[in-house]
A and B are shown apart, each in its own frame.
Chain A
Amino acid sequence: MKRLWKMIRRLSGDDAYERYLAHCRIAHPDRTPMSRKAFFIAEQERKWNGVRRCC
């Protein structure tokens, strides 16, 4: 049940910010990560920068 919930959150991108924070802690401990809001906006812009949907 817990795994399914984790999977759904992962699939929908609900946990994207938490994953980003985890990544920052490991890869760039010296930098301050973006806020939740800033991260969300930056992510949306990046995602829709290329072909994301087909016919």
Chain B
Amino acid sequence: MKKLLWLGISILGAASLGEIALARGEAINSLWLVAAALCVYALAYRFYALWIAAKVLVTDSTRATPAERFDNGLDFTPTNKWVTFGHHFAAIAGPGPLVGPTLAAQFGYLPGTLWILIGAVLGGCVQDMVILFFSTRRDGRSLGQMARDELGPLGGAAALVGTLAIMVILISVLGLVVVNALKHSPWGTSTVMATIPIAILVGLHMRHFRPGKVLEGSLIGVALLLLAVASGGWIDHHGLRTLFDFDGNTLVWLVIGYGFLAAILPVWLLLAPRDYLSTYMKLGTVAALALAILVMHPEIKMPALTRFVDGTGPIFAGKLFPFVFITIACGAISGFHSLISSGTTPKLLANERDIPMIGYGGMLLESFVAIMAMVAATVLDPGVFFAINSPPGVVGQGIEAAATISSWGFPVSMEKMQALASEMGEKTLFARTGGAPSLAVGMASIFGNAFGNGLLAIWYHFAIMFEAVFILTTLDAGTRVGRFMLQDLLGNLHKPLGRTSWYPSVLVTSAAIVASWGYFLYIGVIDPNGGVNLLWPLFGIANQMLAAIALSVATGILIKSGKLKYAWVSGMPLAWLSFITTSAAWEKITSPDIRIGFFSAADHFAEQLSLGKLPPEKAAIAPKLIFNMQLDGALTLFFVAVLWIVIFEMLRVSWKKAIGLPVPPVSESPHIPSRLVEDWVRD
């Protein structure tokens, strides 16, 4: 009977995949994407994840986990597996899986979808699960510590520097998404600004009025957030709109100021309450989107493949290979997750047997979020999708943009865009790059169809608020972590700088971190081709680099513990990642196309500037752009160097092990039998 069920799932999965891969010239239904995804996930979990757990990792349910051994009622606490799953998923799922697929939809729905599915089941889920397992076996140590223990000091240093670098790039690109979504949008801006006093109110409630009443405080906060979305419309229609109408440069400074304040204020006041709100928003909206897609099962209007696989895409430049794999990092494989899978989640894990469900399953769910983002992007008319997401530097402004996009075979008119913009309560939807507005239009149209069309503008601004809220959470939490890492580093030079509560050090290090990402954010906003083309590939490369570091650590541990024959489980995704990351970096460094190659863009600008061919407003910023292109090129080189250092360290250690030379010992903690009464924790 069971076999029959799995056979059925396999057939349905194969049929759905066949439908989405082979349908040409006719619209397909989004339900096929959902069905293909769910079948692939079910099969992969049953036959790959459980196999890895049983044969490769050999999880042991009789062994006490760190949560049990170091139980302190605080961070180390054995926790019910569903609760742990919830915490793990809430931690790993950020804005990445929503933005990446939206951008990659310029290649058509097929390449991104296939990479999300294959990348997740063979790469991302495996990474999350094996790192969770290895960290659990090492007292819940972090990725950096594991890299140092298992691969040596060089590997550890590379992991640390890599993490800090990806944090800076991540925050700047996410900041750019927020700035582009709020540019000249009084409704959106007033709503997002209102989230700050609301979060502070909730923080005061949880801290002073009713200490620790988290649920109550969050409920009040969520209600106020919804009110803020609705009253944003009122502000927009009354005289107050000019108060919240900002251009990109002003918004950059507002975001930078916010990031700095959030990093130095006590966490209970702003950061923690805002995180409660954004977590509920995120989980609620993702669930509502899944429901709406199932109920509405809209048709996909984007073709399977577009002409932009040749590298001429307006949203970001570069051929299908390798750029689709760089653009969709979160949702397929995200190195950042290894920081949650090590250090955080192992401290809650009650039993090793829950590792596949939490590690592998958590990532499957994130991959599904990415599939939904792909659906939301591709149900839009392709003409509308490109009009929203293409920067004016590539397609021109307004009428010109509509003409250019129509000439590509994706018809769109000025009137249509105007009508859509006024439906969504915005002044214009042309060139709203960064992915958030087009996702919001997609979500608004799906929600509008499912739950009533009259409220499109409210749905749109709800979606913008929902994205901005948890992007800002990532931004302030990331700034804080970056600050701790920097303080840790500086503490080696001068002791007091390392003290996280010494205010001069807090101010200096926070300012340094904010200045680093603020710089990239600012450059992204003034870049004529739209900063997304500049920053998103850099972020993708950095994130895949971190994944490669995590997989190197995992492969090294597998080989060192005598499991060479299973080393391909993490070695195969590692090989693929290092291949695509290096290819993409190679193109970003050497390509003569000025939209792809950083150095050729710098040379091009320099030449234009010296010939006096640039209009004055461009000539004024040209030196900054030239310097930045060179900096980005150097950063790309640095990422690739870090990547290969870690891989060579891993290969060196493995080689030494193979020929019998001494290697750093496997740092697994000793087996202590679990004494938890099963039913007590797992109820």
Contacts and interface: CB of A to CB of B under 8 A. Distances in A.
Interface string B495-508: 00000100000000
A32 interface: no
B91 A24 contact: no
Given A14-B215, A55-B330, A48 B267 contact: yes
Given A8-B215, A41-B207, A55-B474, A19 B268 contact: no
A17 B480 contact: no
Interface string A2-16: 000001111111101
Contact of B339 (A43, A46, A49, A51): A51
B344 A55 contact: no
B481 A40 contact: no
Contacts of B266: 45
24 contacts: A11-B86, A14-B212, A14-B213, A16-B214, A19-B77, A22-B73, A27-B72, A37-B208, A40-B207, A40-B211, A40-B212, A43-B74, A45-B266, A46-B75, A47-B75, A47-B267, A48-B267, A50-B343, A53-B94, A54-B92, A54-B334, A55-B330, A55-B474, A55-B539
Contacts of A40: 206-207, 211-212, 268
B484 interface: yes
Nearest to B142: A50
B95 interface: yes
Interface residues of B, number: 57
Contacts, number: 116
A49 B94 CA distance: 19
B96 interface: yes
Contacts of B484: 49-50
Nearest to A35: B211
Contacts of B95: 55
B83 interface: yes
Interface of B: 71-75, 77, 79-80, 82-83, 86-87, 91-96, 142, 170, 174, 206-208, 211-216, 218, 266-268, 271-272, 275-276, 329-330, 334, 336-337, 339-340, 343-344, 473-474, 477-478, 480-481, 484, 500, 539, 543
A54 B275 contact: no
Contacts of B75: 46-47
Interface residues of A, number: 34
Interface of A: 7-14, 16-17, 19-20, 22-24, 27, 36-37, 39-41, 43-55
A29 to B, nearest CB: 13
Contacts of B329: 55
A27 B69 CA distance: 13
Given A24-B73, A40-B212, A53-B275, A48 B477 contact: yes
A37 B207 contact: yes
Given A11-B83, A13-B214, A53 B73 contact: no
